[in-house]
Structure 1
Amino acid sequence: MLPEIYLVLLLLALFLLMSLKIVFEYQRAVVFRLGRFQKVKGPGLIIVVPILQQMKRLDLRTIVHEVTPQDVISRDNVSVKVDAVLYFRIVDPEKAFIQVADFFGATSKLAQTTLRAVLGKHDLDEMLSERPKINADIQTILDAQTEVWGIKVSVVEIRNIELTDDMVQAIAKQAIAERDRRSKVIHAEAEFQASQTLVNAATILASAPGGMQLRYLQTLSEIATENNSTVIFPMPIDLIKPILQIMEKVANKDQ
């Protein structure tokens, strides 16, 4: 009789040890009783009765997933290859285990299709210049669709946008043409401002008595100072007209 009691006690001890499970802080245990969902347990020490209950551990830590490069055609018909990094985690272990067979694979495939769909609505220039906005749009769409699976998509980051060699050359030519255009515009604006200043200066000189004569004499003075060679310069009639008038008055007196 005594050995039988020891055997029973031993079996009970083994049964108890098999029933004790440790769930870490970053884990949760989805427990089923005879195939039906019972509850989510953990963290800490839990009891799972063998045969009657089954348990599945799920990791609640953030998962970093690299989305494989996707071939995308932009709205302006430019073919590019884009890859991204996805950050997500389980927030509802029950849904993550029951509502979808493979939450990781489902989230990964959904991220690929969403990436292509969202980027296909943007021009190439928008892909390159508005990346934070596109990241936020993709994250919002993914988070709304994975909510029914108990998954929270926290961050989506587009990492690389690869262009073909032809597109790289085309963009380089476009940048050169844009720089030339800006240079010509700046030169034209400078010419306009210079001509406007000259017109204003001419208007002021024309309105002042003797202004043009003074400017003419100043120009002659500058030429004489800067050059040692002989310069033949036409003499404006307005400059010598007062002298001619004086000479005519003297001649009339003599007569």
Structure 2
Amino acid sequence: MVVLFKLGLATYAAQTIGGMIYVVMQYERGMVFRNGNFERVANAGIVIMPPWFWGMEMVDVRAMNLVIEVAQIMTKDNVPVKIKAVVFFAVDKARPQDSVLEVEDFAGSIEQVAEAAIKSMGGESTFKQMQAERKALGTALRTEVAEETKGWGAVVQSVLIQDVAIDSEEIRMSLVREAAAQAEALARGHLAEAEVATAESFVKAANLYAGNAVALMLRQLNIAL
């Protein structure tokens, strides 16, 4: 009985001591809580805390990214589009506790804000703008998302718009046909210009030969040869 008691006591002591020791990795910060209240931020290393009424929650401070795809956005010029963007962000190392204390789902909440910002941007821009000004629009999105999430301990590094595509096969084919028609019209215009230039050359040559019988005869001989 005494042996079992000592064994149980040793096990309890080992578990208690083990619960007092935390290892914070270099890419983490430890949020130390006492009696349920935030106490301090623990940096990388070994952290020893009292066994009761204390706790620690780890926060990853490495850069993260979210791939966001939003479909059926109606642009300013009434073109339905789908947009694919990537948001790069991280926990602010100066105030990592805000990512735990101020928001329940840090990454998920940033994703929701970014998705709303993308929808708003799509409705305020034309299709051609989104195709031609991706970098500028991405910068504007980064500013907007950063402003909305600054109280959550977030650092929004960049927003990259990867793709803007028409979200309607009928409209896409219509634009393809329109582009083909424009290309054909341009080609016909160039052909007409070439025909006019050729005709002008013939008229000029005819005028020259009309006043010079010898030149005309030499030209005829040259053609015959």
TM-score, normalised to structure 1's length?
Answer: 0.71
Matched-pair contact (CA < 8 Å) for 1:65–1:85: yes
Per-residue deviation, residues 209-254 of structure 1 (Å, max 9, x unmatched): xx9623x5313321244249xxxxxxxxxxxxxxxxxxxxxxxxxx
* Alignment of structure 1 residues 144-159 onto 2, 5 Å: 144-159=147-162
Structure 1 residue 174 and structure 2 residue 178: aligned? Answer: yes
CA–CA separation in structure 2 for the residues paired with 1:48 and 1:171:
66
CA–CA separation in structure 2 for the residues paired with 1:49 and 1:27:
21
Matched-pair contact (CA < 8 Å) for 1:62–1:87: yes
Aligned residue for 1:116, secondary structure, equals helix
Aligned residue for 2:50, secondary structure, equals coil
CA–CA separation in structure 1 for the residues paired with 2:196 and 2:123:
44
Structure 1 residue 63 and structure 2 residue 64: aligned? Answer: yes
Moved more, 181-190 or 152-161: 181-190
Structure 1 runs not aligned, ≥5 long: 206-210, 229-255
Partner of 2:216: 219
1:196: Cα distance to partner? Answer: 7.7
CA–CA separation in structure 1 for the residues paired with 2:141 and 2:200:
53
Matched-pair contact (CA < 8 Å) for 2:70–2:119: no
* Alignment of structure 1 residues 75-154 onto 2, 5 Å: 75-91=76-92, 92-154=95-157
1:79: Cα distance to partner? Answer: 0.9
Match of 2:190 among 179, 186, 211: 186
CA–CA separation in structure 2 for the residues paired with 1:195 and 1:39:
89
Per-residue deviation, residues 63-106 of structure 1 (Å, max 9, x unmatched): 22221433211111011222322222111311111111211111
Paired AA for residue 139 in structure 1: R
Aligned residue for 2:124, secondary structure, equals coil
* RMSD, aligned CA: 3.2
CA–CA separation in structure 2 for the residues paired with 1:223 and 1:212:
13
Change (3 A) 1:14 1:81: closer
CA–CA separation in structure 2 for the residues paired with 1:188 and 1:43:
76
Structure 2 runs not aligned, ≥5 long: none
CA–CA separation in structure 2 for the residues paired with 1:96 and 1:61:
13
Aligned residue for 2:215, secondary structure, equals helix
1:150: Cα distance to partner? Answer: 1.1
Change (3 A) 1:136 1:72: same
1:191: Cα distance to partner? Answer: 5.8
Matched-pair contact (CA < 8 Å) for 2:17–2:51: no
Percent of pairs identical after alignment? 24
Paired AA for residue 62 in structure 1: A
Per-residue deviation, residues 37-73 of structure 1 (Å, max 9, x unmatched): 2111021101232333221111112222221433211
Change (3 A) 1:95 1:195: farther
TM-score, normalised to structure 2's length?
Answer: 0.79
The count of corresponding residues between Structure 1 and Structure 2 is: 215
Matched-pair contact (CA < 8 Å) for 2:33–2:56: yes
